[in-house]
Amino acid sequence: MPAFNRLGVPAGARTSVDEWRAFGAPRYRTFQGIGGTAAAVFALAGDGLTIPLLLALGTPAAAATVIGVLPFAVSAAQLLVPALLRRTDGNLRVVTLGILAVGETRGFVLAAIVVLHELHLIGSPVAIVAIAAVMSLAGAASAIGGANLLAWYGAILPEGERRFVAPRVMGITQGLGAMLLLPVALIVQAGLSAIGLLVYACIFGIAGVFGIVELAVVRRLRRPGRVRVAPRGEAPPRSPETNRFIRAVAIAAFGAGMGPYLSIYSISVLHLPPGFAILLSAIASAASLVAATVVGGWLNRGSASRTLRLSFVLRGGSMIVGLLAFPGNPVAWLVLCVVAAMASSGASAGSLAANERLLRLTGGVDLIGAQGAFVARSAAGLTIGQTSSGLLLALLPLGYPAFALLFTVSGMTRLILATRVEVSPNWSSATAVFDVAELKRGRKG
């Protein structure tokens, strides 16, 4: 078994590259497989493809914006996980596999919907409603299952190794989609002229296959044993610091919800082709991969709270930059590419830092309950924000001024929050778990 210090740094690792090289060891094949297959499902059956498809089916921009938030709204069902664990006698493995089975196989259902539409067996309105339903239930199941996997890792790995593994699995999941979305953008653009919307069905079907493989890989994880959840009303109270953290993340989620879909903006206002919208998703995924690689190393050694604040600055700043992508600007497309990279880098860093911060604040005590509150309040903030943005797009003329308002509100919310969020004393304090002397000793080794 490899040696880790209490910061989650492998013995002998001096840089983030060393740590990622250590993660490539055969010992971590199962974790690598989970990250890779989940990335494929996320990339090929996520909103990078479903939003352009909805627009192609005739969905109004405002409605597509609201539909896009449905998975996050339904993910508030994370609050039901403690009850499920009580009913299954703490069988986290069965609960997690059952939830992931619903979420990660959604590609097959989406493919069937497209095929039925192209065979004229269902009309566009029915197809839109069906896609919205699949995105809501299956997308939420993927989010909840992913949160449960973090608890599973904590149950089967020592804390030092858990700190090492979890951020890297999440980093692979968030970033590896770039390798798939880049060719997919070209395939969709070419396929639309050759076979029409059936090109989406082909890609969704591939996503379904990856979902089956992901479930098989998850089954290979060591059993977590029985995860006991305190009876209702008897869980230990969360610390004030934890509650303030969850509240801050919920406010940030509201700001994220107010941010417009770049794919909708590029197609509806700048009149760029659907292939460009998917290319934006590819750029975002590539930026996520880079950010996850860097942040995964930071979180082993430094402050999760300061990394989270930096993510607010990146995400808020990206929205302000988005104001420059106005119609008539010959490089508006390039501005959107920059915005996609900045926003996705911030989102990747923020997701990794927020989950790590929660684990550090709770110390594993009532983690399932804290995760439920964390996911539910984040979902509520995002739902309120994105529903508000959808209403604004429905009430205002569909054009640059409406989207500029969304860019501004979304950006300023995160930038203001960045100045007020609680952080550790310095970058190296890491919420009182970082020890400079220990790190220096580890580097000497």
Cα–Cα dist 137/288, whole Å: 25
pTM for the full model? 0.71
Residue-wise pLDDT tens digits, 376-389? 888 888 888 888 98
Q: Place 66 in a pLDDT band, splitting at 50, 70 and 90.
A: confident
Q: Is 50 helix (H, G, I), strand (E, B) or coil?
A: helix
Chain mean pLDDT for the chain = 83
Residue-wise pLDDT tens digits, 259-272? 988 888 998 899 98
Summarize the confidence of residues 118-143 as an average pLDDT.
91
Tokens of 40: 């494929």
Residue-wise pLDDT tens digits, 270-301? 998 877 877 887 788 778 778 877 776 677 66
Predicted local confidence at residue 444, as pLDDT: 37
Summarize the confidence of residues 57-72 as an average pLDDT.
82
Predicted local confidence at residue 65, as pLDDT: 78
> Would you kindly state where each structural domain of the chain is located, as residue ranges?
16-229+237-444
Tell which wins on pLDDT, 361 or 103. Answer: 103
User: Residue holding tokens 């089954």?
Assistant: 219
Tell which wins on pLDDT, 32 or 240. Answer: 32
* Torsion region of 283: left, alpha or beta (phi above 0 gives left; psi -120 to 50 gives alpha): alpha
Predicted local confidence at residue 6, as pLDDT: 54
Predicted local confidence at residue 441, as pLDDT: 38
Summarize the confidence of residues 42-51 as an average pLDDT.
84
Is residue 434 predicted with pLDDT exceeding 50?
no
Q: What are phi and psi of 10, to 5 degrees?
A: -65, 145
In this structure, which topology does domain 16-229+237-444 adopt according to CATH? Growth Hormone; Chain: A; (1.20.1250)
Predicted local confidence at residue 175, as pLDDT: 67
Tell which wins on pLDDT, 204 or 167. Answer: 204
Alpha helix locations (H) across 105-231?
106-118, 124-156, 159-175, 178-195, 198-218
Tell which wins on pLDDT, 438 or 147. Answer: 147
> Considering the chain, what percentage of its residues have pLDDT values greater than 90?
33
* 51 in Cβ contact with 132 (< 8 Å): no
Predicted local confidence at residue 435, as pLDDT: 36
Predicted local confidence at residue 230, as pLDDT: 64
Is residue 326 predicted with pLDDT exceeding 90?
yes
Summarize the confidence of residues 363-378 as an average pLDDT.
74
